[in-house]
Amino acid sequence: MVVRFADGSELRVPRGTTLAEVARARGESQALVALVDGVPTDLSARLERDATVRFLRFEDPQGRSVFWHSSAHLLAQAVKELFPHAKLAIGPPIEDGFYYDIDVGRPLEPEDLQRIEERMRELAARDQTIERVELPRAEAVRRYQEAGERYKLELLEAIPDERVSFYRQDGFWDMCRGPHLPRTGLIRAVKVLGSSGAYWRGDERREMLQRVYGISFPDPAQLEAYLQRLEEARRRDHRRLGRELDLFSIEESVGPGLVLWHPRGAVVRRCIEEFLREELDRRGYAWVYTPHVAREALWEQSGHLSWYRDNMFSGIEIEGQRYLVKPMNCPFHIAVYASRTRSYRELPVRLAEFGTVYRYERSGVLHGLLRVRMITQDDAHIFCAPHQIEDEICGLLDLAFRVHRAFGFSSYEVTLSLRDPATPDKYAGDPEVWERAEAALEAALRREGVAYTRAPGEANFYGPKIDVYFFDALGRKWQLTTVQLDFVLPERFGLEYVGEDNRPHRPVMVHRAILGSLERFFGILIEHYAGAFPLWLAPEQVRVLPVADRHAAYAQDVRDRLRAAGLRAESDLRAEKVTKKVRDAQVWKVPYMLVVGDREAEGGTVSVRHRTAGDLGPMPLEAFIQRARAEVTSRTAS
């Protein structure tokens, strides 16, 4: 029998050789699991025919996923030992670790988690062999009925197969497709991260189970590194930095989810807005301002009342008319478009606005700036003829990448959400228009050389869309740009333009946001830069630090000249030592510190210290201004 490997080499082994033996023969001491002709397989499995084999380690995403899946079983085993009456639901691996949903009959407390973690360590150290066992379906049902494992029985109902696989380690059995690690001893480091309520099958009408989260590694040093990454994320938390750097606050007296942009945060926002304005002006957008409320009838016509009402703030009544606070800007932009006859000559009409909308978000989901009830979208709506879609999408992709590059986001992922061909009736609008539009989106992506993933069935009911995700400095993925075609609203509002043929035509509408919402983007940006904004965004760009009181007048003069040159400058005139002033400026993450004493006052110079590069030495004030202005204008990312 011949076993082939990815590198082209081959190994001859007798039929029935286990994968573990093959691994040993190949010196694959790190192997956790194998891919046999692409199928993930236990190392304990025997090879019965020629096959191509690849061994997976923890470093391989699939290997890691198996490692965490087995860790989830270990967690369940520990819980079952500590709480014999607990009923198991499901326990999958996730992006960062694993969880297990368990009905324990009571909430788990921190001490319980401590005990579970300790028990997991003991069970891992016991190095139990993990064994795959296949049982007839009836036998599996019988076992679970006896044990009263109602969730497992429900899962079993959904499995049509006559034989069901189980994994066993000592006395602990769990129904599972597998594969799994060969033994628990490979799990050398374990941490139970927390627990929370989670609905059975994700359905809020059903039982609430306890979801216990954990993470594990083959090497304790990896756990240590992981915990340090968590600590780094805590250090960058925008809620913490927002307070420390006086950027924003959310006050109980005002209301949850309602953001107060403090002066220092407002500066950053203004820079972001100005940058976007420049970019959009260059691309033929027209700016509009629209109200925050509108008559109920407008929301009826747009359809929001029927499908978005649960997310809307309740209405206000004025002179017997009901008004609702806007959860979206589109009806207003549509009203601008529809305010007069439109000719094909003026298409595409691109209407842009930093529009603040209000959405009712359930209290439990609010999270700093990332999830709020007041959302300022960098919104725009493009009204165009169907044949213009492709060019418009190209322009939007170009815009999105250019803008995000300026903020230091370079790696991305793109999904193209299309109709599900199986359920064409789920979608509104003409199937032919859909066809053409989907083709146009795809053509645009290819023309721009953008790598993307097709997601059939993920389209909105009103049109296909493109979502762009960017990765921040910590490697976390954020959906920022979204471009959505809409065939429904032009219909509902009867939008038209007069064509070359002097007859009315229906425009296509594109909803698009580049940054998403300014609140959320600001939160992401704070964490991305850990509060140390590049010069062009920094709330305070330069701080002048006089050495002693007698230098105060010169310091003020320097500050004023910086301001006259368009730089955001402050001076620190406190009767403190320079070291203290430097420290405070560093803590506030001010990019440039200018130390001025006798030598500088005499020569009209400044001694420049950069936040990260350190002491840059003395230079004429004018030279510094030139340098700083160039850095601002180029929007250098560092």
Catalytic residues: 330, 359, 377, 379, 381, 465, 511
Asked whether 625 and 568 are in contact (CB, 8 A), the reply is: no
* Residue 306 CB partners (closer than 8 Å, separation 6+): 300
Helix (H, G, I), strand (E, B) or coil at 188: coil
112 binding RNA? (CB under 7 A): no
114 binding RNA? (CB under 7 A): no
| Shortest distance (Å) from residue 139 CB to RNA | 31
- CA–CA distance, 256 with 135 (Å, rounded to integer): 53
Asked whether 592 and 542 are in contact (CB, 8 A), the reply is: yes
Q: Which stretch binds RNA (CB under 7 A): 198-206, 343-351, 416-424, 623-631?
A: 198-206
The DSSP element (H or E) to which 542 belongs, if any, is strand 542-546
Asked whether 99 and 211 are in contact (CB, 8 A), the reply is: yes
595 binding RNA? (CB under 7 A): yes
Let me know if 116 is exposed, middle or buried by CB neighbors in 10 A (0-12, 13-18, 19+): buried
- CA–CA distance, 597 with 604 (Å, rounded to integer): 10
The end-to-end CA distance of the chain, in Å, is 58
Q: Which stretch binds RNA (CB under 7 A): 7-15, 282-290, 405-413, 477-485?
A: 477-485
596 binding RNA? (CB under 7 A): yes
Q: Which stretch binds RNA (CB under 7 A): 25-33, 36-44, 57-65, 590-598?
A: 590-598
Is the CB of 153 or the CB of 370 nearer to RNA? Answer: 370
The DSSP element (H or E) to which 480 belongs, if any, is strand 477-486
- CA–CA distance, 414 with 398 (Å, rounded to integer): 13
- For residue 127 the two structure tokens come to 């190095």
117 binding RNA? (CB under 7 A): no
194 binding RNA? (CB under 7 A): yes
Q: Which stretch binds RNA (CB under 7 A): 28-36, 280-288, 357-365, 558-566?
A: 357-365
Is the CB of 157 or the CB of 204 nearer to RNA? Answer: 204
142 binding RNA? (CB under 7 A): no
For RNA, the binding residue among 239, 277, 405, 635 (CB under 7 A) is 239
- CA–CA distance, 392 with 378 (Å, rounded to integer): 17
For RNA, the binding residue among 250, 268, 444, 538 (CB under 7 A) is 250
- CA–CA distance, 16 with 47 (Å, rounded to integer): 5
For RNA, the binding residue among 243, 292, 309, 454 (CB under 7 A) is 243
For RNA, the binding residue among 208, 223, 336, 565 (CB under 7 A) is 208
| Shortest distance (Å) from residue 545 CB to RNA | 8
Nearest to 570 by CA among 612, 533, 540, 536: 540
Is the CB of 497 or the CB of 588 nearer to RNA? Answer: 588
236 binding RNA? (CB under 7 A): no
| Shortest distance (Å) from residue 608 CB to RNA | 7
Residues 503-522 that bind RNA (CB under 7 A): 513, 516-517, 519-520
Task: Annotate each residue in 567-586 with x if it binds RNA (CB under 7 A) or - if it does not, as one string.
Answer: --------xxxxxx-xx--x
- CA–CA distance, 630 with 541 (Å, rounded to integer): 13
147 binding RNA? (CB under 7 A): no
DSSP letters spanning 491-504: HHTT--EE-TTSSE
Q: Which stretch binds RNA (CB under 7 A): 65-73, 200-208, 295-303, 623-631?
A: 200-208
For RNA, the binding residue among 597, 629, 631, 637 (CB under 7 A) is 597
| Shortest distance (Å) from residue 6 CB to RNA | 35
Is the CB of 172 or the CB of 407 nearer to RNA? Answer: 407
| Shortest distance (Å) from residue 554 CB to RNA | 10
> Sheet holding 542-546: strands in order across?
569-571, 542-546, 592-596, 605-610, 614-620
Q: Which stretch binds RNA (CB under 7 A): 118-126, 167-175, 386-394, 588-596?
A: 588-596
474 binding RNA? (CB under 7 A): no
Is the CB of 361 or the CB of 631 nearer to RNA? Answer: 361
Nearest to 450 by CA among 411, 500, 492: 411
Nearest to 218 by CA among 192, 191, 189, 193: 189
> In DSSP terms, which residues pair with 310 in a beta bridge?
none
> In DSSP terms, which residues pair with 405 in a beta bridge?
none
Cβ atoms < 10 Å from Cβ of 552: 14
Give whole-number Cα distances, 346 to 305, 488, 491, in Å. 32, 22, 20
- CA–CA distance, 133 with 149 (Å, rounded to integer): 18
Is the CB of 372 or the CB of 466 nearer to RNA? Answer: 372
Give whole-number Cα distances, 377 to 307, 308, 330, in Å. 20, 17, 11
DSSP 8-state secondary structure symbol assigned to residue 313: P
Q: Which stretch binds RNA (CB under 7 A): 16-24, 68-76, 191-199, 625-633?
A: 191-199
DSSP 8-state secondary structure symbol assigned to residue 311: G
| Shortest distance (Å) from residue 89 CB to RNA | 12
235 binding RNA? (CB under 7 A): no
Residues 423-462 that bind RNA (CB under 7 A): none
Residues 364-403 that bind RNA (CB under 7 A): 364-368, 371-373, 375
Q: How many residues does the chain have?
A: 638
Is the CB of 63 or the CB of 546 nearer to RNA? Answer: 546
- Footprint of RNA on this chain (CB under 7 A)? 107, 109-110, 194-199, 202, 204, 208, 210-211, 239, 243, 250, 252, 255-257, 359, 361-368, 371-373, 375, 479-480, 482, 513, 516-517, 519-520, 547-550, 575-580, 582-583, 586-587, 593, 595-600, 607, 609, 614-615, 618
